[in-house]
Structure 1
Amino acid sequence: MPAQGQYATYPSLFGRIVVISGGATGIGASMVEAFATQGAKVVILDILSEAASELIQKLRDRNVVHPPVYHQCDVTKIDDELKPVAAKILESSPSIDVLVNNAANDVRQPTLEVTQEQWDQGIAVNLRHVFFLTQALMPGLLTGGSASVINMGSISWEVAVPSLITYVSSKSGIVGLTKALAEEFGPKGIRVNSIMPGAIATEKQKREIYTPEIEADILKGQAVKRMLQPDDVARMALWLAADDSSAVTSQSIRVDAGWI
């Protein structure tokens, strides 16, 4: 593992407007911290107001140049919440540099017990909002002429994780959506990529899923034998957002320690 402090700084991210959905906890919170530390102006969309407030205070205490701004938003409520919040963001920031579509929920359910309502909710929280938030913020993304959209995928659809049928189906859809958006908006200066994390040790996963046995199985399946952390994903998001990756689009990049 690299030593502390051996990670890149991206001058091109300083002062850029970065919108992150699901930014209050987990991988999203790590991305908020990473972008804010780079001097970006981060906008958080999340349903968890208390967690968002705690994160913002943490970053204020660290004296980041631009403390994040928070909008409470249930991204599954497209017309009632997502679109109005997007309009507020564009009103205060007419030009958007980076959009990270991160909000998701990997609810586990036996496949034969999934109801239509559960299926629809799974698609809504893991896929549908990715399109509609991108659509709603596209006027701002187009304004600057060189924006980056980063969609959060998952390796789960490639390794066929049991009891995650709606999540897996949604995350496979992220790949197609990413390519379609990249093709359509590339000529207008918009890059669109996705990140496909492997097994990431978020607080939720450690609290609800991971046991010593499961962690041993994860390490057995990885070429690099260490547990992956949210910061590992956040660092990839930084690179995809920065000018350093200006020639990269339409890609789905695995951050999985070489899942075998």
Structure 2
Amino acid sequence: MALMRQDTVLVTGASRGIGFACAERLLSEYGCQVAITARDPAGLEAARQQLAEKGRVIALQCDHADSKQIANSWERLLQLTGPPAGVIANVGDNPVHRLGPRKAHNADYDVLLSCLRTNLVNTLYLLQLCIKEWRSRGGNIVLIGSQAYRYGIPGQIAYNVSKSGLVGLKNSLVSEYGKRGIYCQLVNPGLVLNERTRRLRATVAEQTISEAEVAAAVCQALWQPEQFGNGAELNVPAA
């Protein structure tokens, strides 16, 4: 489905990092309206103010670990602008950043469940809401995965498993809804150069990529999905 400049794109987890970079690029390069979500109200408002200098922005406070908040934010978005034409499902939790590494034998059960809920199950829940609106009109989805699952980065099994599940999610959505004009791509960034990955970068020798470079690839996949084919899995940088 070809997006247009007057369309709205929903970007989750967009108060900073890759999500913010994607929202910024959509506004400055593509000129569409952007709806952003974030858990922290102060961070969300700061991001909204910065992004509003570049174009039309809607800010929706939402903790994506909570399905009720997702539903409430979705209803608010429908009231404000109607259903979005595209979604960048960026929000994700990596417990390593706050708890340090945990190998499989020592992984905390509740942490694993929380990570899977936020990164995979609730991503599907949000997309269910989208697809109910899109079955007659089509829509574009880009899932933000990670190259971590492909290598099984030690110490972050919860994150690896949750991101690997996005492959099955993508394939299922394409199989079930591709004929209805719904596109779903998966972009897997490598090790992103930012403060959150500082500890990981100190222990993992791997090429890094900037948030802006990831955003460029994500927005291209969203805006021109036909270029890659429905269900493409794109590694940035190429693995």
- The answer to whether the aligner puts 1:210 opposite 2:191 as a matched pair is no
Shift of 1:44: 0.8
Contact 1:160–1:168 (CA under 8 A) maintained in structure 2:
yes
Instruction: Give percent identity, aligned residues only.
Output: 19
Equivalent position amino acid for 2:111 in 1: Q
CA distance in 1, matches of 2:69, 2:209: 33
1:193 is paired with a residue of what secondary structure? Answer: strand
Number of the residue aligned with 1:82? 70
Distance 2:217 2:189 in 1: 10
Distance 1:188 1:247 in 2: 18
1:25 correspondence with 2:16: yes
- Counterpart of 1:69 (choices 38, 58, 82) is 58
- Please give the alpha-carbon distance, in whole angstroms, between the structure 1 residues aligned to 2:102 and 2:74: 35
Match of 2:6, SS state, is coil
Q: 2:222 matched to which residue of 1?
A: 241
Number of positions where the alignment pairs a residue of Structure 1 with one of Structure 2:
232
Letter in 2 for 1:35: L
Shift of 1:247: 6.1
- Is contact 2:3–2:85 with CA below 8 Å preserved after alignment? no
Tell me the secondary structure at the aligned position of residue 84 of structure 2. coil
- 1:172 positional shift: 0.7
Residues 69-111 of structure 1, C-alpha deviations (whole Å, 9 max, x = no match): 1111111111x21112112212333332101111012222312
Aligned-residue CA RMSD (Å): 2.0
CA deviation after TM superposition for structure 1 residue 52, in Å = 2.0
Supply the AA of the counterpart residue of 1:65: G
Structural mapping, 1:28-177, within 5 Å: 28-37=19-28, 38-61=30-53, 64-66=54-56, 68-78=57-67, 80-108=68-96, 109-111=101-103, 112-142=105-135, 145-177=137-169
SS at match of 1:194: strand
Secondary structure of 2:179 counterpart: helix
> For the Cα contact (< 8 Å) 1:96–1:140, is it kept in 2?
no
8 Å Cα contact 1:16-1:41 kept in structure 2: yes
Question: How big is each residue's C-alpha offset from its partner over 1:24-62, in whole Å with a ceiling of 9 and x where there is no partner?
Answer: 11111101111111211111111022222222212233x
Q: Following the alignment from structure 1 to structure 2, what is the Cα–Cα distance between the partners of residues 95 and 75?
A: 18
Q: 1:13 to 1:201 in 2, by over 3 A?
A: farther
Aligned-partner Cα distance in 2 for 1:29–1:184: 30
| 1:13/1:35 CA distance change after superposition, 3 Å | farther
- Structure with higher Rg: it is 1
Change (3 A) 1:95 1:60: closer
Give the Å deviation of 1:12: 4.8
Q: Segments of 4+ in structure 1 off by > 6 A?
A: none
Task: Return the letter of the residue paired with 1:74.
Answer: D
Instruction: Determine helix, strand or coil for the equivalent of 1:218.
Output: coil
Distance, in Å, in 2 between the alignment partners of 1:155 and 1:194 is 11
| Paired AA for residue 126 in structure 2 | L
Over 3 Å counting, the alpha-carbon distance change for 1:65 and 1:119 in structure 2 is closer
Could you list the runs of 5+ residues in structure 2 that have no partner in the other structure?
none
Deviations 1:127-155 (A, max 9, x none): 11110000012233335x23111111111
Q: Distance in 2 between matches of 1:90 and 1:60?
A: 20
Q: CA deviation at 1:237?
A: 1.5
The answer as to whether partners of 1:98 and 1:141 remain within 8 angstroms in 2 is no
